[in-house]
């Protein structure tokens, strides 16, 4: 199961962001917060992609390190700086295997870039936070949100990885914007739900009250009325506007689980987040059949698995501490 920091970095690499967003990301990446976790993420990225790089790319990478004063050992052990300190200089070379040298140091950050506040909700938990402007955010499990300190700037922009319900304080002079991957949701005073987990192919924005504008991939705009939902598919870059059941969308806020035409992998991902349990399966290739399941508040993991056995069948399970082992028959 990927760490939260790994999801953040992978999500940033996969999509193009504005110059301001990029600068804010770089600022977060070279900050001292969670240094050990960042170090491990970038070491893992290097190990994962090293086999796909050619000699020119690796040489370019080493030239970057020399230019910013880092002395790497053969296994990318950094003597003078932890790896996350120069990650902004090398992450694109490491992960994209591009030709040429792209490098970045702390001096490249805009001098007026403000500090980023970050808030993470662990799997198995849900939390409500209040922003400086009085807006409230109800964060689902396994979700991470970033926003500029004091919401400085011409807009109130927050960045979401995961799922959250937003109740926005009105301020017509300063629009409230939620960004995640290729989707941006703009509101003046309203309530809406955004689901944007990096590991899932679908992004959804659902209006509960008021009015919002949803922009997908900087090409398609939707104006939503309550009960409408925009569904964006990252793999195809396509979006669609649909009517939806608001009660199903907000079920997670009540501790319920509502799965609509979900694959087994999608079901497992949801259960991992909801219960804070790591799932391990005995089979790499899992059926792509889809299932609709509803579990009420306080349903325990054993009850859920027993229902799944009845509906899906063909598996046994074993629970041990914070892990669930699935054995397919």
What's the pLDDT tens digit per position in 94-114? 333 322 222 333 333 344 456
Query: What is the structure's pLDDT at 212?
Result: 95
- Domain match, 83 and 121 both: no
Residue 278: left if φ>0, alpha if ψ -120 to 50, beta else—which one?
Answer: beta
Chain-centroid distance, C-alpha 8? 6
Domain count along the chain: 3
Task: From 79, 108, 137, give the residue that closes a domain.
Answer: 108
Q: Which distant-in-sequence residues (6+ apart) come within 8 Å of 133 by Cβ?
A: 151, 156, 169, 171, 174, 176
Tell me how far apart the alpha carbons of residues 90 and 323 are, in angstroms, rounded to a whole number: 35
One domain, residues 146 and 237: yes
Say if residue 91 is in the same domain as residue 150: no
Residues 141 and 237 in one domain: yes
C-alpha 217/C-alpha 184 separation (Å) is 8
Q: Report residue 2's pLDDT band, with 50, 70 and 90 as the boundaries.
A: low
Same domain, 41 and 132: no
CA distance 223 to 192: 13
Pick 26 or 137 by higher pLDDT: 137
| Listed residues 249, 264, 299: the one ending a domain | 249
* Residue 33 Cα to chain centre, angstroms: 18
Does position 67 have pLDDT exceeding 60, yes or no? no
Verify that 19 and 144 share a domain, yes or no. Answer: no
Cα–Cα distance between 242 and 253 in angstroms, integer? 22
Residue 65 lies in domain:
4-108
**Average pLDDT taken over every residue of the chain:** 76
**pLDDT tens digits, residue range 16-42?**
555 555 555 655 655 555 656 666 666
- What predicted TM-score, i.e. pTM, was given to this entire model? 0.71
Residue ending a domain, among 83, 108, 133, is 108
**Structure-token match 């490098």, residue found:** 103
Q: How far apart are CA 255 and CA 299, in angstroms?
A: 9
> Residue 68 pLDDT > 60, yes or no?
no
Q: Which helix (H) or strand (E) holds 59?
A: helix 55-67
For residues 120 and 104, state if they share a domain. Answer: no
Coil/strand/helix, residue 213: strand
Distance CA 293, CA 277 (A): 19
Do 192 and 126 share a structural domain?
A: yes
């Amino acid at each position: 199961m990927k760490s939260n920091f790994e999801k953040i970095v992978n999500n940033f690499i996969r999509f193009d962001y504005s110059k301001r967003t990029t600068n804010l990301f770089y600022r977060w990446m070279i900050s001292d917060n969670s240094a050990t976790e960042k170090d491990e993420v970038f070491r893992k990225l290097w190990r994962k992609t090293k086999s796909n790089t050619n000699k020119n790319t690796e040489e370019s990478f080493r030239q970057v390190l020399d230019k910013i004063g880092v002395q790497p050992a053969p296994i990318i052990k950094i003597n003078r700086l932890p790896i996350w300190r120069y990650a902004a200089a090398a992450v694109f070379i490491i992960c994209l295997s591009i030709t040429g040298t792209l490098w970045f140091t702390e001096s490249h950050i805009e001098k007026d870039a403000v500090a980023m506040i970050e808030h993470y909700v662990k799997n198995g938990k849900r939390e409500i936070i209040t922003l400086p402007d009085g807006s409230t955010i109800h964060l689902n499990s396994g979700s991470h949100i970033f926003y500029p300190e004091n919401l400085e700037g011409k807009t109130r922009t927050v960045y979401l990885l995961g799922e959250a319900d937003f109740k926005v304080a009105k301020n017509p002079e300063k629009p409230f914007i939620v960004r995640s991957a290729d989707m941006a949701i703009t509101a003046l005073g309203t309530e809406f739900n955004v689901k944007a987990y990096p590991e899932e192919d679908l992004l959804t924005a659902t209006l509960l009250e008021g009015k919002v504008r949803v922009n997908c991939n900087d090409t398609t705009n939707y104006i939503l009325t309550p009960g409408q939902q925009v569904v964006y598919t990252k793999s195809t870059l396509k979006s669609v506007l649909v009517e939806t059941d608001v009660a199903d969308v907000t079920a997670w806020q009540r501790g319920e689980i509502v799965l609509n035409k979900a694959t087994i992998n999608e079901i497992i991902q949801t259960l991992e987040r909801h219960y804070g349990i790591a799932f391990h399966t005995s089979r790499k290739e899992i059926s792509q059949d889809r299932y609709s399941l509803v579990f009420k508040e306080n349903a325990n993991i054993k009850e859920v698995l027993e229902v799944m056995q009845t509906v899906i069948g063909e598996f046994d399970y074993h629970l041990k501490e914070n892990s669930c082992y699935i054995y397919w028959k």
